[in-house]
Amino acid sequence: MTNARRDFRDEELLADVIARLIGDVRHVAVGNASPIPATAALLARERGRGRPYVSLLGSPKNTFWTDGARELFDCAGQGRIDVFFLSGGQIDGTGNVNLVSTGDYEHPKVRFPGSFGSAYLYYVVPKVILFRIEHSRRTLVPRVDFISAPGASEQNVYRPGRPIALVTNRCLFSFAAGRFTLTSVHPGHTIDEVIEHTGFDFERPAAVPETPAPSPDTLKHLRETVAPQLAEVYPQFAAQVFGVGQAALAC
């Protein structure tokens, strides 16, 4: 991979990758504690000049909901959300997500925050983008210890929702036919590194490209337009990554 000088931050690269995965859709929703997907959704809206509509949980300015997560679930069940994002303490090679615990269920080694609405949203949102910033064999495992949200279902189960990709701090995987395929490796990382730190098997083409760096126009959008909007819900993230609102946070 190239060692060229970088003029972008990792968070900006990941937001650009996710924004391209979002594509041309009507409505993107982002749950709690998801600053990078939120950045990507706002970037996609900026590029599309107002499309897609973006709903950020916890943002009065960027959602029409008045009843929080309950209304999010209702909207998704009606087919009115096209893209959502999920993460987990563990993710395996078939797209299963674990947000419950590791080890024996009755005597867990680690307890995670819980599934909340992940299993439901995984079934009903057409494009689910998985993301995990820590790309390691601890997080990307051969088989999750507990399936809180399954990556696939039996053929007789009606399920419009599915995972389409997994974005990590090292690479981008696409997902199809129940398996991940290495699509690109981020600048500063290597294929061997991805193999070393991934616990599950995955497909890969003979030549794996490097993830494109954000363009100057993308960085301009992120820093000048997206970052101030992001500060409403994620002020600390906006300050650390983009330098937005630092004076206010210091008060």
Q: Residue 13: phi, psi to the nearest 5?
A: -60, -50
Using DSSP's 3-state secondary structure scheme, residue 36 falls into helix
**Could you tell me the maximum CA-CA distance found in the chain, to the nearest angstrom?**
57
Domains of the chain with bracketed CATH = 10-250 (3.40.1080.10)
Dist. CA 245–CA 81, nearest whole Å: 31
Using DSSP's 3-state secondary structure scheme, residue 45 falls into helix
Dist. CA 104–CA 111, nearest whole Å: 11
**pLDDT band at residue 212 under the 50/70/90 scheme:** very high
At position 38, the amino acid (one-letter code) is A
Give the global pTM: 0.93
Record the tokens describing residue 153, joined without a space: 């279902």
What H or E segment, with its residue span, contains residue 164? Answer: strand 163-168
Distance, C-alpha 161 to centroid of its chain: 15
**pLDDT band at residue 8 under the 50/70/90 scheme:** very high
pLDDT in tens, 149-193: 999 999 899 999 999 999 999 999 999 999 999 999 999 999 999
pLDDT in tens, 18-71: 999 999 999 999 998 999 999 999 999 999 999 999 999 989 999 988 888 889
- Average pLDDT on 65-82 reads 92
Measured at the alpha carbon of residue 24, what is the angle toward residues 140 and 225, in degrees to the nearest 5?
Answer: 85
Measured between its terminal Cα atoms, the distance across the chain in Å is 42
